Amino acid sequence: MTDILIFTFATLGAIFALLAAIGILRMPDTFLRISVTTKAATLGIGLILGSAALYFGDLSVSSRVQAIIIFIVLTAPVGAHLIGRTSYFTGNKMWKKSVIDDLEGKYDKKKHELLSEDVKKKYKKEEKKEQADAKEKK
């Protein structure tokens, strides 16, 4: 029974790792590549490590495998987010068939800030406030 689980986990892990590799080649832009590889590779590595823990059946190996899996699950999405954010802010273009850009107009390139409202609206509000302040001073 354990052999069947080991075989299943290792096979599924290899399939997900293969899908991650194919995703790097097939996806049209950086953002989709990051998404595919983070999800598929994390699951693939987790399954392969799980099969290794079952194969060895030792507490020390199993605890190390659990620590590695937890580390990967915690760090892979954060790393992918930072890479995606940096590539967006440096001007890496999205795929031409992308439907929506949630960050469009919300990144202030002068101050390097990401705002919850449009940058243009913020500057208009600031200009109106400055004009009102200038009128009050006169």
Question: What per-residue confidence (pLDDT) applies to 71?
Answer: 96
Indicate if 61 and 81 belong to the same structural domain. yes
Indicate if 12 and 74 belong to the same structural domain. yes
3-state secondary structure of 127: helix
Calpha distance 114→116 (Å, rounded): 7
- CB-based burial, 21-40: b 16+ in 10 Å, e otherwise: eebeeebeebbbbbebbbbb
Based on the structure, what is the number of domains in the chain? 2
Question: What per-residue confidence (pLDDT) applies to 56?
Answer: 95
Calpha distance 60→130 (Å, rounded): 65
- C-beta neighbour count of 72 within 10 angstroms: 16
Indicate if 113 and 86 belong to the same structural domain. no
Residue 99 counted as domain residue:
no
Question: What per-residue confidence (pLDDT) applies to 9?
Answer: 96
Indicate if 88 and 110 belong to the same structural domain. no
Question: What per-residue confidence (pLDDT) applies to 119?
Answer: 65
* Largest Cα span, the chain: 87
Indicate if 61 and 128 belong to the same structural domain. no
- C-beta neighbour count of 47 within 10 angstroms: 21
Residue 44 counted as domain residue:
yes
Question: What per-residue confidence (pLDDT) applies to 122?
Answer: 66
Residues of the chain with pLDDT under 50: none
Indicate if 89 and 108 belong to the same structural domain. no
Indicate if 89 and 33 belong to the same structural domain. yes
What residue numbers bound the domain in which 42 lies? Answer: 1-93
Question: What per-residue confidence (pLDDT) applies to 138?
Answer: 64
Residue 98 counted as domain residue:
no
